[in-house]
Amino acid sequence: MRILSLALLVSVMLGIPRTGHAADAPTGSGAAMTTAASKLLAALPPELQKKATFSFADDERFNWHFIPLQNAKTKQPTRKGVPLEDMPEAAKGLALELVKAGVSAEQYATVLTIFSREAVIGELEPANRWFRRPGWYFVSIFGEPSLTSKWGWRIEGHHLSLNFTIDKGVCTSATPAFYGMNPVTMKHGPTKGERVLGGCEDLGRELFLSLSPDQQKLAHQAEHFPEVEARTAHYPDDKPLGIPGSKLTPTQQEKLGKLIRHYLERLPADQAKHEWAKIEAKGFDNVVFGYSGEPIPFKEHTYRVQGADFLIHYMNNQTDPLKNPANHIHSVFRTISGDFGGVPK
């Protein structure tokens, strides 16, 4: 009886459901993130624990962004959370394990490249080197990581904002999911020729070039799509612009599906499967694809894919640090009902 009571106490402390069967416990990405976040918090000293944690109801959860945020006078970051560079080495490793739990192996490599590109930008922009730091990526945890309650977390910095909501050990949302890259293709140095995050560019261009001249007239926009609005839970309510899927051939719809799945592959596998099932159930007829600019590498262009419950927003109309045109990507996947786990009205 004493052993049973001790086991019960431990299970309560760890937030493990009292099912009596280990097989009943969640086993997907949400459970993995819950375990990883708990280990990370335990490894942080008290002062960093305090900086890392917020109430799940805190509006900071919606204060997402993907640009550098810093005070030029104090030379300090203004982004909330704990930066990787301030964490003890053991905790930093656990923070990266948390990231691994939330993305695929391929996307984890992309995240690390986003970190390292900050050093590249700093090298090419000496005046800005003080805030172009690979360690200025911040982890924030909202609520208490537990298999019995709702909580969330975010990792964010320049060109990255990944937002997750977990409810009773199940990942219920992995959006907004923002990935950027600058430079996309390295034009100098030992990694010259390396290209990262180029898939979203190639697949969008491939779809546009597959359209007939008349279809391209419907899809093409005279002006570039504007930057996505951040620092708010507000979901873009812009009217879809472009060609609807109902006017695409079956082969073109396959290309559209391939583009959408490319963005879903950025999410945890179980969440990607869930989102794809929703999109596939509604079909592509009312999914709208719009494209601006020239469908040529290193020429400015943007595109949007907008469905009833999701938005893909892509931009490549900025220069890289060496002033090479269209070598600087911003891309995001969002869901109307799912961003931040569902935004309270």
Q: How far apart are CA 320 and CA 269, in angstroms?
A: 32
Over residues 31-46, mean pLDDT: 98
Q: Which residue has the higher pLDDT, 19 or 74?
A: 74
Check pLDDT > 60 for residue 8. Answer: no
pLDDT at 232: 82
Tokens encoding 146:
């537990």
Mind listing the pLDDT tens digit for each residue in 124-162? 999 999 999 999 999 999 999 999 999 999 999 999 999
Pick from 28-32, 59-63, 210-214, 336-340: least confident: 336-340
Cα dihedral 269, 271, 276, 281 in deg (nearest 10): 140
Over residues 29-37, mean pLDDT: 98
Lookup result for tokens 């459901």: 17
| Mean pLDDT (the chain, rounded) | 92
Over residues 276-300, mean pLDDT: 98
Going by pLDDT thresholds of 50, 70 and 90, the confidence category of residue 231 is: confident
Upper half-sphere CA count for residue 219 (Cβ side, 13 Å) = 33
Check pLDDT > 70 for residue 264. Answer: yes
For residue 163, the SS3 value is strand
pLDDT at 25: 66
pLDDT at 24: 61
pLDDT at 234: 78
Instruction: Read off the DSSP letter of residue 145.
Output: -
pLDDT at 265: 95
DSSP-assigned letters across all residues of 229-286: P-SS-PPP-PPP-SEEGGGS-HHHHHHHHHHHHHHHTTS-HHHHHHHHHHHHHH-STT
φ, ψ for residue 17 (rounded to 5)?
-60, 145
Percent of the chain with pLDDT over 70: 92
Going by pLDDT thresholds of 50, 70 and 90, the confidence category of residue 235 is: confident
Over residues 21-38, mean pLDDT: 83
How many other C-beta atoms lie within 10 A of the C-beta of residue 131?
19
In angstroms, the Cα distances linking 341 to 45, 266, 336 are: 29, 17, 10
Q: How far apart are CA 218 and CA 208, in angstroms?
A: 11
Tokens encoding 48:
């960093």
DSSP-assigned letters across all residues of 75-100: TEE--SSEEGGGS-HHHHHHHHHHHH
For residue 157, the SS3 value is strand
Tokens encoding 259:
């583009």
Which pTM does this prediction carry? 0.91
Check pLDDT > 50 for residue 21. Answer: no
Report yes or no: 33 and 171 within 8 Å, Cβ to Cβ: yes
pLDDT at 237: 76
Tokens encoding 281:
């159930």
pLDDT at 3: 37
pLDDT at 325: 98
Over residues 32-53, mean pLDDT: 98
pLDDT at 180: 98
pLDDT at 5: 39
